[in-house]
Structures are given as C-alpha cells and as structure tokens.
Amino acid sequence: MPNKACVRAHTNIALIKYWGKRDETYFLPMNSSLSLTLDKLYTDTMVVFDGTFTEDAFYLNGEKQSEKETKKISKFLDLFREEKKTGLRARVESINHVPTAAGLASSASAFAALAGAANLALGLDLDPQRLSTFARRGSGSATRSIFGGFVEWDMGTCSDDSLAVPVDDAGWDIGMVIVAVNQKAKEVSSRIGMKRTVETSPFYPAWVEAAKKDIVDIKAAIAAKDFVRLGEITEANGMKMHGTMLGAEPPLSYWEPDSIVAIKTVQALRKQGIPCYVTMDAGPNVKVLCRLSQAETIKAALSEHFAADKLIITEPGQGIRELTE
C-alpha cells in the first residue's frame, strides 16, 4: 500500500447552481447543477496514513488547524477508512493556490483534492465517478471538481448515483474573468444560507423547476458550442438563485455595491458587441464567463473600476491529478 499521496484539484464555478439539499446527511441536492472547472484556482493536498499516528492532524498553508477544523477532515476521512476497513490515522497538508487578495478559497477544490489523495493513499482504487460521491460528502460543490471542463453534478436518486459527469472539455475559446470584490468572511455560510432558502423562500419551488429546465438547455448549448446561449442561460440561472434567496426569511443577499459596478460594466460591454455574462455565488465576487480570446479586453474595461490584483483571468481547468515528486 502506498499510504501517502499528493493530489491537485481545481475549483469550479457553477453555471447552473446548486442551492439546497434534499438530504443533509448524504449531501443530496434538490437539483442537478453544472460547472466550469478553473485552471487558476486550485488546492494541493498531501495525505499520509501511518500506524504510529494516534490522531488525525490537518495543516493548511503550513499552519496547524484547530480541533474544530480537524474534526471536519476526520469525519470526511472516516468515509475512506470505512471503505478500506482500517483505523489508520492521517496527516493532511493542504496548500491553497489562490491569487493573493482574491478571497476565493474554496471547499470544492479542498474536498476534491482530499478525496483524491485519500483514495490513492489507501489504495482504494475508486473510479472518478465513485470518487465524486465521496467528495460530495465533504462539500456539494466538490463533487464537480473531480473532473475538468464543463461538469454536471447529476442529482441522482440516492447517495450512490448522485455524482459528477464530465460534459465537455471546454476547449472552444472559453474563459472566465473573476472580479474579487472583497475577501471578508461571509456572514451567512452557504450551508446555512441554502437551508434557510429551502425552508422559508416561497420562490424556492419555482427555482427548482427553473433549474431543471436550465440544465437541459445549457447542455444543449454546450453540445452546439453556442456561446451566447450558454452565457444567457448562465446569467439568468445565477440571478434566479439570488432571487430565491431574497425571498427567504430573513432575506439573504451576498451582493455589495461593487458587485453591481461589475455587473453594469459587463452589461455595457455586451452593448458594445462583446459577449460576456455574469454569475455570482454565495459572496460578492462576480465571475464573468467570456471568450478566452476577449478576456483581456474585458479585464481592461473592469480595470477602470477595480485594481489589477482584483481581476483574475482564467482558462478552463482539468480534473484531479496526482502530483509526483
């Protein structure tokens, strides 16, 4: 048994959003979602299992993490230990590769990298789709980071078939410009925010119905390599998700004034004939889906309002892979 492995996983941005669980124990979503894996933002995680360890230890960016954070990792590693029928404890070392000042650290790349490393270190030999069902138990969005390009998280019917499906490698002039509006810790975590939305927003059933249609339509747009349609569906789906949050009690909004500044800039660019579309997640940052070949032009327009270190251009990223020394 190798007992040690290091894996890189990239983060992903949902174009059709996951916002709400139908099962909180197994992280089963209310709707299927679809994302683009990003090249620039990723996590490298090394896991070593060792019979001499008496407890799990977790280091992030070189710093030993608290008992609370380590517990989350232990609970996640328990899934792999159960599968392997071992009680071995582990040391986990993660490095987040996120451009400084971006505030974009992501549980998607974190749990996908940890899943990949645990799988290899324990010699489990789980195939990528099965592995995505494990990643899902750490964080829903991590399901999709197992693969590169456009990836669907099929909501499935149970824990075994709620998994990631690679859709397209996105190698047709696709890019993203990230506007890092700020890096403050969010007041309401996505986990709490989505739960509140499911339980209290009268718009929620309509969101689920709309998302069902959007996923079918976006896959058709990807198959046809129809960038404008892809962007239109992406932007509309994100707005619908934020709409359903506004209907929650108490209402939920992650937007900040600078988010609107970025959105208006994108709208102005579209009027000038540059196809580009916004999407936002559980935070104020704005992600602009665009043609990779036009990303510099879009960045230049945004740089009239935002400092250069707040604007990140990225191309589509690949799925998880082992890093060898």
- List of residues contacting ligand 2P0 (CB under 6 A): 14, 17-19, 27, 33, 107, 139-141, 190-191, 281-282
Tell me how far apart the alpha carbons of residues 157 and 162 are, in angstroms, rounded to a whole number.
Answer: 7
Supply the minimum distance, in Å, between the C-beta of residue 105 and ligand 2P0. Answer: 11
CB 143 within 8 A of CB 133: yes
CB 190 within 8 A of CB 27: no
Tell me how far apart the alpha carbons of residues 238 and 242 are, in angstroms, rounded to a whole number.
Answer: 6
Supply the minimum distance, in Å, between the C-beta of residue 222 and ligand 2P0. Answer: 17
Omega into 99 within 30° of 0, i.e. cis?
no
Supply the minimum distance, in Å, between the C-beta of residue 35 and ligand 2P0. Answer: 6
Quickly list DSSP for 150-208. EEEEE--SSTTT-EEEEEE--TTT-EEEEE----PPPSS-HHHHHHHHHHH-TTHHHHH
Choose between 153 and 227: whose C-beta lies nearer to ligand 2P0.
153
Q: Which residues contact 193 (CB under 8 A, 6 or more apart)?
A: 245, 248, 252, 254, 282
Angle value at C-alpha 185, between 183 and 189, nearest 5 degrees: 125
Choose between 37 and 190: whose C-beta lies nearer to ligand 2P0.
190
Supply the minimum distance, in Å, between the C-beta of residue 20 and ligand 2P0. Answer: 10
Supply the minimum distance, in Å, between the C-beta of residue 85 and ligand 2P0. Answer: 27
Choose between 37 and 139: whose C-beta lies nearer to ligand 2P0.
139
Of 245, 244, 265, 262, nearest in space to 254 by CA? 245
What tokens does 47 get?
């896991």
Supply the minimum distance, in Å, between the C-beta of residue 269 and ligand 2P0. Answer: 24
CB 149 within 8 A of CB 171: yes
Q: Which residues pair with 50 in a beta bridge?
A: 89
Supply the minimum distance, in Å, between the C-beta of residue 140 and ligand 2P0. Answer: 3
With b meaning 16 or more CB within 10 Å and e meaning fewer, what string describes 66-104?
eeeebebbbebbebbbeebeeebbbbbbbbbebbeebbb
Supply the minimum distance, in Å, between the C-beta of residue 107 and ligand 2P0. Answer: 4
Angle value at C-alpha 183, between 118 and 197, nearest 5 degrees: 75
